Chain A
Amino acid sequence: MNFTWITDPYYQEYLWTGFFNTLALVGVSGTLGLVLAVIFALLQLNGPKPVAWFVRGITTVVRGTPLLVQLFFFYDGVGRLLPEIPGIRESLFWPMLRDPFFYGALTFTLSVGAYSGEVIRGALLSVPSGELAAGRAFGLSRWQILYRLWLPRAIQLCLPTLTGEMILLLKSVPLVSTIAMMDLLKAANLVRDETFLVYEPLLLIAGIYIAMTLVLTTAMRIIEQRFPGVQPAKAQRRLLPG
């Protein structure tokens, strides 16, 4: 085992870039994905029938196909058709549409939206209807019922499951190395190519991922404790895919 390359600032720069890109991707798609998940859940429950069916379809397709295929579909499939739209090269969005980060964030946001959307939909359905009736009896508006009662109660019920979803998101990030984005795995692969080491760089980032999983689990547990009324889940279940 040879780990002397870790002290080389040249390789350190790869690894730091990969690390921060990984964090940025988790941050962006985690936040946007959870917002999308709430929207998906509400549209399926309360939206007009055609919209609800449409969302149901998206959710089924996203959950039924491999994330890697979705990533290639958006990056290579959709990404290569885009230049054929007239005027798009001159538009403001073009630099973004050429960046693999954008496609990674798009795919992961959609994925979090679909998987967590199902979790949130289930939680919304489990809120006792008497509580919502109580809200109406107090004269709350529909909007007030939603953001004061229904959503907070649903999040209480599913927060531990959402923790699991966030860990799954973190563990999906290495996939973007296949579309030439500089994440931790890509950084490790570059180090491997240049130092001719077969697996030492991979072991290092496996260690980093274990540390990140632990930090994320701890952070989510603190959020769970601060969120009033959350039932703590068994710690064992957290790493299990939902």
Chain B
Amino acid sequence: MDHYQNEGLMDWAGPILQGALVTIEIALLAYVIGLGLGLVGAAARLSPYRPIQALAAFYSTLVRAVPELLLIILLYYAGTQALNMVLGALGWQSQLEISGFISAVGVLAFVQGAYMTEVFRGAILAIPRGQLEAADAYGFSRWARFHRIVIPAMLPNALPGMSNLWLILVKDTALISVIGFEELFFTAQQAAASTRSYFLFYAVAGALYLVMTLGSNVLFGWAERYVRRGQPGN
């Protein structure tokens, strides 16, 4: 039992900070993929083709109605199986093993994409029509119109939602610990169980998450001022 007494915060500081780094990596990667999924989803929801619209609406509505933890467990188990089934149907016989990191990022990005779809859809719908028509009148190509007009014009509307989703994502990474992936909270749980200082290590984990979320708030504040440059009231 003495062993428990000897291990303390100092012994676990390294692994816990390492876990915090993994958490940030997962969150950043899932966020970037989620942004991409959200843009595709929003484009699909606003597309003139009914089946594509319906598919995107199905994705974003369904994912947002099911608890995140349930989705994460479901996608973690069923996702691997489904992927192997698809590969099997294509004639690949190899049993694919997905690494914990990839499935963690994949699952979080999939959930994030559904919420991001709605944020971008709302932001794009809020762009005054005249701005898009002006781009057409100047002969902009579709791509030029997208990245010169649509993106800069929608970002001020989308950024509050995007920053909200980033904070939710950082907090949702803790859910990955439930499927046994070693990120910040999983390491904190191990430390707590091994030293029996549950109170201390959960407080430390909470404090680290708090630093991440408060820090992100500052960064998003700067980003918001940047995308709103040139708008009245600044």
List the interface of chain A (C-beta within 8 A of B): 60-61, 63-70, 72-73, 76-78, 80-81, 170-175, 177-178, 185, 198-199, 202-203, 205-206, 209-210, 213-214, 236-237, 239-241
Which residues of chain A have C-beta atoms less than 8 A from B159's C-beta?
A: none
Q: List 8 A-B contacts (CB under 8 A).
A: A65-B209, A67-B171, A73-B206, A174-B69, A202-B74, A210-B62, A236-B122, A240-B119
Query: How far is A151 from B230 in the complex, measured between Cα atoms in Å?
Result: 38
Q: Count B interface residues, CB 8 Å.
A: 47
Which residues of chain A have C-beta atoms less than 8 A from B81's C-beta?
A: 198-199
- Closest A residue to B189 by CB, please name it: A72
Given contacts A81-B199, A173-B67, A210-B62, contact A66 B74 (CB under 8 A): no
B78 pairs with A240, CB closer than 8 A: no
Interface of A, helix, strand, loop or mixed by DSSP: helix
Contact residues of B between 201 and 220, Cβ < 8 Å to A: 202-203, 205-206, 209-210, 213-214
- Work out how many contacts link A and B, with CB atoms closer than 8 A: 118
Which residues of chain A have C-beta atoms less than 8 A from B213's C-beta?
A: 63-65
Interface of B, helix, strand, loop or mixed by DSSP: helix
A76 pairs with B198, CB closer than 8 A: yes
Q: Is B73 an interface residue (CB 8 A)?
A: yes
Query: How far is A67 from B167 in the complex, measured between Cα atoms in Å?
Result: 12
Query: How far is A240 from B115 in the complex, measured between Cα atoms in Å?
Result: 7
Which residues of chain A have C-beta atoms less than 8 A from B161's C-beta?
A: 240
Contact residues of B between 151 and 207, Cβ < 8 Å to A: 161, 164-165, 167-168, 171-175, 177-178, 185, 188-189, 192, 198-200, 202-203, 205-206
Query: How far is A78 from B67 in the complex, measured between Cα atoms in Å?
Result: 26
B65 pairs with A239, CB closer than 8 A: yes
Ranked nearest first, the 3 interchain pairs of A and B with the lowest CB-CB distance are A66-B174, A77-B199, A239-B64
B202 pairs with A199, CB closer than 8 A: no
A202 pairs with B70, CB closer than 8 A: yes
Query: How far is A239 from B63 in the complex, measured between Cα atoms in Å?
Result: 10
B209 pairs with A64, CB closer than 8 A: yes
B70 pairs with A174, CB closer than 8 A: yes
Q: Is B1 an interface residue (CB 8 A)?
A: no
Query: How far is A187 from B69 in the complex, measured between Cα atoms in Å?
Result: 14
Most A C-beta atoms less than 10 A away, residue of B173, B177, B202: B202
Given contacts A64-B214, A202-B77, contact A240 B69 (CB under 8 A): no
Given contacts A65-B171, A77-B198, A241-B168, contact A199 B66 (CB under 8 A): no
Given contacts A65-B210, A66-B172, A66-B174, contact A77 B203 (CB under 8 A): yes
